[in-house]
């Protein structure tokens, strides 16, 4: 499964977000929300467990401080979509990603990211440039 595509959405007054139907089928029972690089990452239970396993291995190897695993656990959240495909984004994660009412959901191949619509245009332009450069260099072709 590869998460692809970009969708503009709006958080309602309760901090709920309707998952795009394209993504919804992968998050039927549970969604794991965790901090990303300036965004909120949505992962399936399997993907979240894989991330935790990798982080544990990095802690054991001494590459990552134990506080990273604790911090990941304390700020991440397991949520269940309601009958309308909505999930509630906890206030602390909304604050972490500087989310307001308008957001952008984008596929990141292995997970989905939620970005503030105010930062998305600059980020999107930088990503487009990076992808174009990679293809010019023959990567992925």
The predicted pLDDT at position 129 comes to 54
| Lookup: tokens for 139 | 């990567």
How far is the C-alpha of 129 from the C-alpha of 78, rounded, in Å?
Answer: 34
Indicate the domain borders of the chain.
Answer: 6-136
Contact 105, 6 (CB under 8 A): yes
The predicted pLDDT at position 122 comes to 72
pTM attached to this predicted model:
0.84
Contacts of 50 (CB under 8 A, 6+ apart): none
- pLDDT, tens only, 54-70: 999 999 999 999 999 99
- pLDDT, tens only, 76-121: 999 999 999 999 999 999 999 999 999 999 999 999 999 999 987 7
Contact 6, 104 (CB under 8 A): yes
The predicted pLDDT at position 28 comes to 86
Given the candidates 3.30.310.50, 3.40.30.10, 3.40.1550.20, 3.40.50.150, the CATH classification of the domain at 6-136 is 3.40.1550.20
């Amino acid at each position: 499964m590869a998460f692809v595509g970009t969708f503009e959405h709006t958080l309602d007054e309760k901090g709920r977000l309707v998952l795009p139907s394209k993504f919804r089928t992968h998050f039927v029972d549970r969604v794991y929300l965790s901090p990303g690089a300036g965004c909120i990452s949505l992962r399936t239970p399997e993907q979240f467990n894989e991330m935790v396993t990798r982080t544990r291995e990095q802690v054991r190897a001494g590459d990552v401080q134990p506080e990273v695993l604790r911090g990941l656990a304390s700020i991440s959240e397991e949520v269940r979509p309601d009958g309308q495909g909505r999930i509630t984004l906890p206030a602390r994660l909304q604050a972490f990603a500087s989310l307001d009412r308008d957001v952008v959901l984008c596929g990141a191949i292995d997970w989905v990211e939620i970005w503030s619509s105010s930062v998305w245009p600059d980020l999107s332009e930088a990503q487009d440039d990076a992808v174009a450069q990679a293809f010019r260099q023959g990567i992925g072709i």
